[in-house]
Amino acid sequence: MRGGTELFPKITVGLDLGDRVSEVCEVDWRGREVRRGRVVTTRAGLREYFGGRERCRVVLEAGTHSPWVSRELEALGHEVVVGDPSRLYGGRRKKKSDRLDARYLARQGRADVELVYPIRHRGEQAQRDLAVIRARDQVVRTRTKLINHVRGAVKSVGGRIGRCSAEAFAKRAVRELPEGVGEALLPLLELIEELTARIRAYDRQIERLVERYPEAVRLRQIKGVGPVTAVAYVLLVEDARRFLRSRQVGAFFGLVPRLAESGGSEPQLRISKAGDELGRRLLISAAHYILGPHGPECDLRRYGERICARGGKNAKKRAVVAVARKLAVLMHRLWVSGSVYDPDYQRRRRERRRLQLA
């Protein structure tokens, strides 16, 4: 019996988090269900249930509440395992309920924590700073939707607003609005102008965050990586040492192809889109700039151009994704090595090899 307790935790708790109340299922090291219950999803409720008891393993799914709940349970002295819900259950289940989920989490966590595909939440400070970037992103996307709506509404009555930046759109549109739509669209233009001012305020906040994270300053050596992308990258990765190799960062941001090998079949699939969607979108945006008309001459641009030159369907899209993946790897390498960025490093390396072989 004693040997069994060495293989399995004495008590494993499956905690299926709900917005107000969470389901609990406890199993012992033999796999017997010893307790079922519910706990209020508040700090006080967690302390009442988990406080002052013997250390146990608590297994839960990643979600809205999991960051603060995991920190609270760790502070109470328990081992916490946070599972990846997108991979946890394997396939579509015929029966699903909060009680069954709590039971499943407890049994999987007791047997082998790798079966729940554990993830690691970022720190509380990083989460707070990342909230600034996410809030700015929502404001930018809202402004874009409003600008598109105004342009569409003007076109529907035979007018057109000239090309301009998003920052200058409201002032230009006021002068170019056709008669008859001003009453409907002027309030939207005022709102767009207000959102632009909000975005500038967020930009000032993010510039201050760059000073807090010196790693972000190093990443901004790459032309096309602005303060938002640099700070978001640092906050999302948080600990560069979590990756043994820089190449693993591409998979972290979901920029590598999905895998579905079976027998001799190895189909070419789309990228996995795993990880944080905002981080992936920022890297893609930076790749678009690098490959665009104002992009700098550098190894990244030449790499993308070689992929475009192969031709074929969606060659430009593949090139953008490939450059974004390579950019993520390069940023990690600069971070861990502390090196000065050389935009022509690969070209110089090839030239040196040619000279050595000549």
* Residue 5: per-residue pLDDT: 45
Residue 152 C-alpha from the chain's centroid: 32
What type of residue is 214? P
Sheet holding 33-40, edge to edge: 33-40, 21-28, 11-16, 57-61, 79-83, 118-119
* Residue 73: per-residue pLDDT: 96
Q: How many Cα atoms are found within 13 Å in the side-chain-facing hemisphere of 344?
A: 6
Predicted structure pTM score: 0.86
Q: What distances in angstroms separate CA 91 from CA 86, 88, 100, 261, 285, one per listed residue?
A: 9, 9, 15, 17, 33
* pLDDT higher than 90, residue 179: no
Q: Look over the chain and give the mean of its residue pLDDT values, rounded to a whole number.
A: 91
* Residue 266: per-residue pLDDT: 67
| 218-249 tens-digit pLDDT | 999 999 999 999 999 999 999 999 999 999 99
* Residue 92: per-residue pLDDT: 61
Q: How many Cα atoms are found within 13 Å in the side-chain-facing hemisphere of 322?
A: 17
Of the candidates 61, 67, 54, which has an alpha carbon nearest to the alpha carbon of residue 23?
A: 61
* pLDDT higher than 90, residue 78: yes
* Residue 93: per-residue pLDDT: 65
Q: What is the band of 4 on the pLDDT scale with cuts at 50, 70, 90?
A: very low
Q: State whether residue 144 is helix, strand or coil.
A: helix
| pLDDT mean over 315-325 | 94
* Residue 3: per-residue pLDDT: 38
Percentage above 70 pLDDT, the chain: 95
* Residue 262: per-residue pLDDT: 64
Percentage above 90 pLDDT, the chain: 74
Q: What distances in angstroms separate CA 165 from CA 170, 200, 225, one per listed residue?
A: 10, 14, 19
* pLDDT higher than 70, residue 7: no
* Residue 47: per-residue pLDDT: 96
β-partners of residue 257 are: 271
**Which residue do the tokens 């992936």 mark?**
280
| 146-159 tens-digit pLDDT | 999 999 999 999 99
| 338-347 tens-digit pLDDT | 989 999 998 9
| 272-297 tens-digit pLDDT | 888 899 999 999 999 999 999 999 99
The CA distance from 33 to 12, in Å, is 10
- For 107, counting Cβ atoms within 10 Å of its Cβ (0-12 exposed, 13-18 middle, 19+ buried), the class is middle
* Residue 160: per-residue pLDDT: 92
* pLDDT higher than 70, residue 261: no
Query: Residue 156: which residues within 8 A CB-CB, separation 6 or more?
Result: none
* Residue 355: per-residue pLDDT: 85
